[in-house]
Structure 1
Amino acid sequence: MLQKISSRILLWSSIVLATGLLLSAWLPYLNPGKFWVAGFSGFFFPILFPVCLLLLPLLWWYKMKMPLLLCGIALCCAIPAALVTWSFHPVNAGEGTVANSFTLMTYNSSSMGLVAYKTEEARVAAIYDMIRKARPGILCMQEFYSNDQAGREHHIDSIMRTGNYGWHYFTCDKTHWNTWYYGISLFSRYPILSASSIPCGKSSAGSGSSFLQADLAINGDTIRIFSVHLTSYMFNSEDYNNMSAPGSSSLIYKMRSTFEKRSAQALQLAALVAESPYPAIVCGDFNDTPVSFTYKTVSHNMKDVFLETGNGLGRTLSFLSPTLRIDYLLAQPSFSIHSGGVLQIHPSEHFPVMACLSLKKH
């Protein structure tokens, strides 16, 4: 009797898991702007795939052929999604060892440690310490904040000095109280030939309203960099509390609206990259997982620095879930990626992604 019950449980568990895994892996191919349910599915993939994998030995032990076959097929069909979720590179080349290479870092600075209009000194210190140690030749920062009021944090000037940067560009998507500036910034030791802010929506937080596009002269070549912060869910404390209450209509509505805006931004960004007259790099906070329409659209025909050099899940968000990789550094095939990785700095909401790259010579 007990064996019969356990067999039934295993049977239905395998059916549910296999179905969930297939939906999680393949629904993100649909545009959530038109089919919003697809926007939720990819979140569960990093959990469903290993659980389904661990179920296989149990099904084999109980000689349950049909459930074993079902889970096996689901896992095989989910391999493309697994290949963009996990990366395994135990050996990583040293940074800066290749001739004509350059380093680039992307980092969501979470308003440079500004919380409720007060600066958390520990967060600011961690950011500047990271810049001094990593010394990226190009630094792209989303959710950037600076203030030119006397006695406040003029981060633009401070970072220029700290990183020894000769050029910078700031989108300044939002101004508060005349001197409080928010947006996306780019700092460079290489000449910025041209730069612009390309509107992509409207965000009350500022950063997320535009794409930063900049053309840089590096080692005799011109490359184009897009630094972006795609639409966030903008969850507040009440939303986080509602996460423990399934079916919260306000939370689902907010996520559904975000899916629509972000999918439109992803399509706009992909078109800009495709039209670029120069070799292009895209970096920033996509606010979406690797198994998503957003990532699939933007990363098309591009190389992901983490997948090329990293290990494990490459988590870039320090809270909510250990599986969340939402910050990316992507390069077109014309670039060689020599090294890279996610730098875990604390305290910080996001972790920066850095890479050493060079443009292939033909």
Structure 2
Amino acid sequence: MLHKIFLRILLWGSTMLAVGLLLSTYLSHLNPGKYWITGFSGFFFPLLFPICLLLIPVLWWYKRKEQLLLCSIAVLCCIPAALVTWGVHIFSKNNIVKQPNSREFTLMTYNTSSMGLMAYKTDKDKEAAIYKVVSKNSPDILCMQEFYSNDKPDKEHHIDSLMQRGQYSYHFFTCDKTQWDTWFYGIALFSRYPIAAAAVIPCGESKVGSGSSFLQADLVLQGDTIRIFSVHLTSYMFKGEDYDNMKAPGGGGLVYKMRSTFQKRSAQALQLAALVAESPYPAIVCGDFNDTPVSFTYKTVSRNLQDVFLETGSGWGRTLSFLSPSLRIDYVLTQPSFRIHGSQVFPTHPSDHFPVMACLSLKKH
């Protein structure tokens, strides 16, 4: 009796999982700005793919031919999505240390969650962790999203502190939001290379500041000019009451907020992809996309670009410290004119996001 129940569960369960895997992969090709429900699809892929893969030998053992065929087809059809979810360079050389007397440079992207500021008080442990990882790895170019600095004498002037500690001669700050005249929020870029030009490109509205614009900067490296886009795409910005009001009508519901976020983020992705395509200089895109590799956002922005983690990394490449070990939402993407020598994600604790650093160089013409 129990054996029959198990086989029935295996039959229906494997069928539903295989169909779910296919939907999670291919619905993400649709623009959630038009079909908002598709915005949820990619979240489930990192769980469904390994389960379906593990089910294949079980189905073969129990001689469930139809389900075996369905699961096998689903897994094969979803291999391209798996290859943008997991890094497979387990044994290859991955070096983020610059070679002396070379044209290599390093770039780090880091969502700092307002430099540890919460409820207008700085978490000193988080703040110290940020400075420690930056000082230890000393990137030539440092891009920070959800950045905060304060001009008040008794507060944290992070712009000056980072320029001094990191030995950065140049910086640019979008300053998307100002509070009480001295509290500044936005996206910051610090560089040891000259900034030839920089611009704040509006991309929406955000109450927290970062997420209202893209930072665009042209840097001069050894006679060549490159363009960097540092971005923080719209996040859900959930609060405790959002979970309590999940079933609330109209704008109070959690699902409504997610739907609105999907629409805003898909529009930002299309805008960013167009800016990268129009760049007169070799371009790098970095920042917090707030979306997984199996998503419309990632597919749109990364088209014709190289993902530094996929080119050199292995495993999950997790960049968010909570919710799930599979969440890779912070990226460094480059146009093919760049050579990727290595990349690394630094599990920084305590920190909401983990920084991503890459060692790059421009290919010789």
Normalised to the residue count of structure 2, the TM-score between the two structures is 0.96
Match of 2:14 in 1: 14
Unaligned runs of 5+ in 2: none
Contact 1:131 1:162 (8 Å CA) reproduced:
no
When residues 238 and 249 of structure 1 are mapped into structure 2, their CA distance, relative to the original with a 3 A threshold, is closer
Contact 2:112 2:353 (8 Å CA) reproduced:
yes
Within a 5 Å distance, the mapping from 1:217-236 to structure 2 comes to 217-236=220-239
SS at match of 2:201: strand
Contact 1:263 1:293 (8 Å CA) reproduced:
yes
Question: Residues 3-37 of structure 1: CA distance to partner in whole angstroms, max 9, x if unpaired?
Answer: 33222211101110011000001101000000011
Q: Aligned equivalents of 2:243 and 2:229: distance in 1?
A: 31
Give the superposition deviation at 1:143: 0.1
Match of 2:344 in 1: 341
Match of 2:139 in 1: 136
Give the superposition deviation at 1:93: 3.3
Contact 1:24 1:42 (8 Å CA) reproduced:
yes
Q: What's the C-alpha RMSD, in Å, of the aligned pairs?
A: 1.6
Q: Aligned equivalents of 2:37 and 2:313: distance in 1?
A: 30
SS at match of 1:32: coil
Match of 1:4 in 2: 4
Give the superposition deviation at 1:219: 1.5
Question: Residues 275-309 of structure 1: CA distance to partner in whole angstroms, max 9, x if unpaired?
Answer: 00000000000000000000000000000011111
Q: How many matched pairs? A: 360
Question: Residues 94-145 of structure 1: CA distance to partner in whole angstroms, max 9, x if unpaired?
Answer: 3212720000000000000001000111111111111110000000000000
Q: Aligned equivalents of 1:2 and 1:324: distance in 2?
A: 37
In structure 1, which of residues 96, 99, 103 is the aligned counterpart of residue 98 of structure 2?
96
Give the superposition deviation at 1:2: 3.5
Tell me, yes or no, if structure 1 residue 195 matches structure 2 residue 170.
Answer: no
Q: Aligned equivalents of 1:240 and 1:146: distance in 2?
A: 31
Q: Aligned equivalents of 1:81 and 1:340: distance in 2?
A: 21
Q: Aligned equivalents of 2:2 and 2:124: distance in 1?
A: 60
Give the superposition deviation at 1:320: 1.2
Match of 1:41 in 2: 41
Give the superposition deviation at 1:89: 1.7
Tell me, yes or no, if structure 1 residue 68 matches structure 2 residue 71.
Answer: no
Q: Aligned equivalents of 2:223 and 2:198: distance in 1?
A: 18
Unaligned runs of 5+ in 1: none
Q: Aligned equivalents of 1:46 and 1:7: distance in 2?
A: 25
For 1:344, the aligned partner's letter is: P
Give the superposition deviation at 1:271: 0.1
Comparing 114-123 with 93-102, greater Cα deviation is found at 93-102
Give the superposition deviation at 1:242: 6.8
Tell me, yes or no, if structure 1 residue 125 matches structure 2 residue 144.
Answer: no
Q: Aligned equivalents of 1:113 and 1:327: distance in 2?
A: 18
Give the superposition deviation at 1:244: 12
Give the superposition deviation at 1:321: 1.2
Question: Residues 64-85 of structure 1: CA distance to partner in whole angstroms, max 9, x if unpaired?
Answer: 1000000000001111110100
In structure 2, which of residues 141, 161, 164 is the aligned counterpart of residue 161 of structure 1?
164
Q: Aligned equivalents of 1:320 and 1:215: distance in 2?
A: 36
Match of 2:278 in 1: 275
Percent identical across equivalent pairs?
Answer: 71
Q: Aligned equivalents of 2:134 and 2:13: distance in 1?
A: 48
Q: Aligned equivalents of 2:99 and 2:15: distance in 1?
A: 50
Contact 1:144 1:182 (8 Å CA) reproduced:
yes
